[in-house]
């Protein structure tokens, strides 16, 4: 076989690496299955492909209504009447994207970058948008982070969302797309409209976060850590070298820094006795479980035996966090807690506080994630050879 010159091989490899990262295939409107939609161009016409063949153009002012039928897809507009056995694809020659509306149940129209492929699966439409990665990231940051944040916070969100997207490209491997548009993956409601997000995505273009083994990290986050983040293994039993407990003073005066909840004393003691076999006839034990102030984040309640998991208490009593003290008050025990959420990884309110106070997004990343690096995604394959 003819030997490929190294330079040609290198160029070829860098192109395949780029192609691999260029687009995201996103399953749309997965939370409300539908058999009835409307598709329009977004400020430009769309070419329409039926069962793989280009057959028509949808004018910019025209809306095509697609209905699921037993024999495939039937589509009507002012000027078009089309039937597909398997699929319809909509492409925007000018790269303007498309607009999509669920007609039943009726939803607000959304504007998307990229192209749309509609087929049938499981009795409903399967709608998959092929979206340029950077536009997908901007849309996710807009949907997930919301309005009114500092640029450094949006930059942090941009690298986190990009990293998550690429680390989870196989999450829906059996469904015909890569990521869904709901909270199961990352919320994506179409094109970003905010200038500051557009700027943050552009300024962090192609950057992703990797650990010391050059693996894309799981950029886990929560609302407020209460002053100390948690080790991943303490919550999910699997450790990650970058998800390590760290002291955080940035979130202490933020909106979800403290909480309080009262529980009837009998309910509290009955639960501990029934679920864990705690000896509630022993006055010393009762004193410990009704009056305790942790010095730092702990895993078990009040150092008693048998051990009572604070994470399970959080779940069973619907507490904001597993980081709290206990005081008796009449017939009640009062739980006074710190933070909101599981406490692993990035503390959002602490990160917002840091961004507001002049820290850069890389400062914030290194504060919450241990031994991580920012790399251009095109360079990932230089450092490792097992692909994504
Ligand atoms: Zn998903
Ligand atoms: Zn925090």
pLDDT tens by residue, 149-203? 999 999 999 999 999 999 999 999 999 999 999 999 999 999 999 999 999 999 9
pLDDT value at position 237? 84
The answer to whether residue 334 sits within a structural domain is: yes
Q: Provide φ and ψ at 28, rounded to 5°.
A: -95, 150
Q: How far is the CA of 158 from the centre of ligand 2 (A)?
A: 20
Helix axes 348-356, 361-368, angle to 10 degrees: 150
pLDDT value at position 12? 47
Q: Are 287 and 308 in contact (CB under 8 A)?
A: no
Closest ligand to Cα 345: 2
> CA-based angle 187:191:197, to the nearest 5?
85
The dihedral sign for the CA sequence 80, 84, 87, 93: negative
pLDDT value at position 107? 87
Closest ligand to Cα 164: 1
Closest ligand to Cα 354: 2
The dihedral sign for the CA sequence 316, 321, 322, 325: negative
The answer to whether residue 272 sits within a structural domain is: yes
* Whole-Å CA distances, 181 to 34, 192, 241: 15, 14, 29
The answer to whether residue 223 sits within a structural domain is: no
Closest ligand to Cα 221: 2
Among 122, 138, 160, which residue terminates a domain? 122
pLDDT value at position 105? 85
Q: How far is the CA of 253 from the centre of ligand 2 (A)?
A: 10
Q: How far is the CA of 67 from the centre of ligand 1 (A)?
A: 25
pLDDT value at position 31? 84
Q: Are 172 and 179 in contact (CB under 8 A)?
A: yes
Domain holding 117, by residue range, is: 36-122
* Whole-Å CA distances, 209 to 22, 229, 231, 242, 293: 17, 19, 19, 11, 37
Closest ligand to Cα 351: 2
Q: How far is the CA of 229 from the centre of ligand 2 (A)?
A: 7
What span, in angstroms and rounded, lies between the C-alpha atoms of 343 and 251? 12
pLDDT value at position 303? 87
Helix axes 283-290, 265-276, angle to 10 degrees: 110
The answer to whether residue 288 sits within a structural domain is: yes
Which residues of the chain, if any, have pLDDT below 50?
1-2, 4, 7-16, 387-388
Q: How far is the CA of 269 from the centre of ligand 2 (A)?
A: 31
pLDDT value at position 15? 47
What's the structural domain count of the chain?
2
Q: How far is the CA of 32 from the centre of ligand 1 (A)?
A: 13
Helix (H) or strand (E) holding 232: helix 232-236
Ranges assigned E (strand) in 265-380: 324-329, 332-338, 346-347, 373-376
pLDDT value at position 11? 47
The dihedral sign for the CA sequence 222, 187, 362, 213: positive
Cα dihedral 7→9→15→17 (10° resolution) = -120
> 110 CB contacts (<8 Å, ≥6 apart)?
99, 100, 101, 189, 190
Query: Burial level of 242, CB count in 10 A (0-12/13-18/19+)?
Result: buried
pLDDT value at position 161? 95
**What letter would DSSP give residue 228?**
B
Q: How far is the CA of 262 from the centre of ligand 1 (A)?
A: 36
Q: Provide φ and ψ at 7, rounded to 5°.
A: -65, -45
Closest ligand to Cα 250: 2
pLDDT value at position 385? 56
The answer to whether residue 79 sits within a structural domain is: yes
Of all residues in the chain, the percent with pLDDT exceeding 70 is: 93
Among 80, 100, 122, which residue terminates a domain? 122
What span, in angstroms and rounded, lies between the C-alpha atoms of 159 and 152? 11
Among 89, 122, 155, which residue terminates a domain? 122
Closest ligand to Cα 168: 1
């Amino acid at each position: 076989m003819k030997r490929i010159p190294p330079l040609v091989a290198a160029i070829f490899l860098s192109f395949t690496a780029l192609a691999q990262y260029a687009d995201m295939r996103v399953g749309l409107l997965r939370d409300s299955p539908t058999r009835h939609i409307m598709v329009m161009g977004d400020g430009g016409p769309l070419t329409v492909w039926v069962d793989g063949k280009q057959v028509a153009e949808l004018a910019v002012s025209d809306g095509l209504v697609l209905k699921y039928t037993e024999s495939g897809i039937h589509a009507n507009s002012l000027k078009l009447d089309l039937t597909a056995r398997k699929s319809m694809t909509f492409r925007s020659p000018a790269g303007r994207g498309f607009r999509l509306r669920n007609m039943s149940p009726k939803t607000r129209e959304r504007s998307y970058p990229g192209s749309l492929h509609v087929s049938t699966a499981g009795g409903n439409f399967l709608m998959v948008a092929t979206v340029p990665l950077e536009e997908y990231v901007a849309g996710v940051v807009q949907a997930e982070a919301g309005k009114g944040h500092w640029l450094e916070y949006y930059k942090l969100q941009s690298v986190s969302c990009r990293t998550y997207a690429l680390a989870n490209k196989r999450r829906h491997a059996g469904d015909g797309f890569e990521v869904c548009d709901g909270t199961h993956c990352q919320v994506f409601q179409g094109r970003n409209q905010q200038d500051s997000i557009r700027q943050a995505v552009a300024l962090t273009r192609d950057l992703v976060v990797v650990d010391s083994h050059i693996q894309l990290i799981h950029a886990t986050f929560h609302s407020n850590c209460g002053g100390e983040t948690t080790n991943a293994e303490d919550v999910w039993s699997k450790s990650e070298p970058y998800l390590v407990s760290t002291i955080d003073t940035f979130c202490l005066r933020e909106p979800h820094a403290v909480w309080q909840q009262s529980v009837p004393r009998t309910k509290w003691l009955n639960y501990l006795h029934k679920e864990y076999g705690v000896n509630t006839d022993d006055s010393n034990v009762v004193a410990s479980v009704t009056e305790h102030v942790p010095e730092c984040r702990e895993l078990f309640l009040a150092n008693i035996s048998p051990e009572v998991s604070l994470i399970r208490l959080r779940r069973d009593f619907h507490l904001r966090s597993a980081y709290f003290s206990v005081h008796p008050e009449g017939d009640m025990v009062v739980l006074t807690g710190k933070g909101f959420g599981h406490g692993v990884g990035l503390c959002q309110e602490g990160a917002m506080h840091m961004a507001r106070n002049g820290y850069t997004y890389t400062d914030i990343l290194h504060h919450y994630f241990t031994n991580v690096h920012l790399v251009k995604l095109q360079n990932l394959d230089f450092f490792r050879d097992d692909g994504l």
